[in-house]
A and B are shown apart, each in its own frame.
Chain A
Amino acid sequence: MKQEYNFSRRFFLKTSSALGALAFIPRGVKAFYEDVKNYIIPTKEQIPLKVSINKKSYAIKADTRTTLLDLLREDLNLTGAKKGCDHGQCGACTVHIDGQRVLSCLTLAATLPGKEVTTIEGLANGDQLHPMQEAFIQCDGFQCGYCTPGQIMSAVACVNEGHTKSVAEIKEFMSGNLCRCGAYNGIVESIQKVAAQ
């Protein structure tokens, strides 16, 4: 607590002396300060959140900027979902919200209350792997494994949605998940296998 007080006091002193100094500075510089001050002294907001992840509820406090992906990885120690690009372009962060596959890197944690999140950690039933996890192992659906949690979450949804009628359809509906190792054939095989079950 003490530390925090010192920090904000120092911050206050710094900014207020900067403001004081402004009185002696020409107009153009003042206008410049007006423009940039919002960037120097932003209002941060920590909000209380109740989120449900893999059927477990968490009561947390998070900065409004926190994405679901960062919440999982940095705060809740659920590091299954991966950060590949952080911009919606690779699918490594795929999770399910209310049963639908979505990208956790573009989902703000603040929008989660009232929804159920499922991550790769919530897929297995105790020690028993989900059939899609089994299939990925049996069909060599991965090499380095980095894209795999996202691929598996997406693959489970792909089967649930019924987009498995042909190899072409599977590829089209798995196109949101990139794999740098090129394990695509094994991934398609895994999906065919589970779809046939």
Chain B
Amino acid sequence: MRPFLFSKSTAANQAIAKKKSNTQFIAGGTNLVDLMKKHIANPDNLVDISSALPNKVENTAQGVSIGAMMRNSATATDPTILAKFPLVSKAILAGASPQIRNMASMGGNLLQRTRCPYFYDVTTPCNKRQPGSGCSAISGENRMSAVVGHSPQCIAVHPSDLCVALAALDATVKVMDKSNKTQSIAFKDFHRLPDNNPEKDNNLPADALIQSINLSNNNFAKNCSYVKLRDRDSYAFALISVAAALNLNGNKIIEARLASGGVAHKPWRWLEAEQFLKGKEATIANFEAAANIATKGLKPQMHNAFKIPMLKGAIETALKQCLNP
């Protein structure tokens, strides 16, 4: 690690005021400390925000607001989240380990960086770590990489499980910017595709803080599922994950939500497949048809064509599990 100055803030505006150039906020530290040890993040100043932000689930007029400093494990076991948004709990519990979930904050989870092996290896070119240096994954080890939305500059995927559930549920992210103004960012606009500047993972304004994640009440609590496929049973990042949720009237689908991790630079929504399911009967045949629509026209890399049938199976399984959660 490079040496740095450390300070702690007890209020959001105080933390933002401390954000000089090359300053980073630290929440749970589970990603940042690792990146600092590997000389990928090299801040001169570290501002501890763990006492500066809300850490509770609060009921709002539209639904709930989850404080950015709420730990992942506390969110997953929160009674309100379990009752109203069980998909969020399922996705969190599919990620990392109990120790890491106890440390990891909700805000930090959104901002964790990719697990592309070249991003982590400072001896190799990587446009995300060092803009303009090239992408080692395109012609290298890319079985974990994206199958949709990638660019010739970067084919990395976003590693979060939580974010897949938040994308499916159309969450919004409340942020406070440098001038202490707050704004809400729709989840679909929060993360971004790599295009020509993969060094930017998301659209969080410079020096802004995430304050909370907001969810609106919905009718998906009864029929939702999170399927995660990885190299071992537990404690590994997703090769493919699927968050599925159905709003049913009898056996008729009023509305469907389908999102995936492990496929793109951002949590990915399968909007065409959702549209197909709308108004249809919840049958195996319709689930298969939806999975076919989602997996049509994807562009895998040299080493990950296996992700296409894997994704198809995961979507079908997740939709079936929605009927017997």
Contacts and interface: CB of A to CB of B under 8 A. Distances in A.
Interface of A: 38-39, 42-45, 47, 63-65, 67, 86-88, 91, 94, 100-103, 106-108, 110-111, 154, 157-158, 161, 163, 171-173, 175-177
A142 B164 CA distance: 37
Given A94-B99, A157-B98, A42 B33 contact: no
Contacts of A64: 3-6, 46
Contacts of B180: none
A95 to B, nearest CB: 9
8 contacts: A44-B3, A47-B6, A65-B1, A91-B99, A103-B30, A111-B26, A173-B98, A176-B98
A43 B5 contact: yes
Interface in B212-241: 233-235
Contacts of B235: 175-176
Contacts of B121: none
A108 B26 CA distance: 10
Interface of B: 1-6, 8, 26, 29-30, 33-34, 36-37, 44, 46, 48, 50, 73, 96-100, 102-103, 233-235
A89 B192 CA distance: 27
Contacts of B8: 111
Nearest to A107: B29
A39 B122 CA distance: 15
Which label, helix, strand, loop or mixed, suits the secondary structure of the B interface? mixed
Which label, helix, strand, loop or mixed, suits the secondary structure of the A interface? mixed
B100 A42 contact: no
Given A103-B100, A161-B98, 8 more contacts: A45-B6, A100-B73, A102-B103, A103-B103, A110-B6, A110-B48, A111-B26, A158-B98
Given A87-B37, A102-B103, A106-B30, A45 B98 contact: no
Nearest to B51: A114
A86 B37 contact: yes
Nearest to A105: B33
B33 A108 contact: yes
A135 B26 CA distance: 38
B33 A154 contact: no
List the 10 shortest-distance A-B pairs measured between CB atoms, nearest first: A176-B97, A175-B234, A175-B235, A42-B3, A64-B6, A44-B3, A65-B1, A110-B6, A100-B102, A106-B33
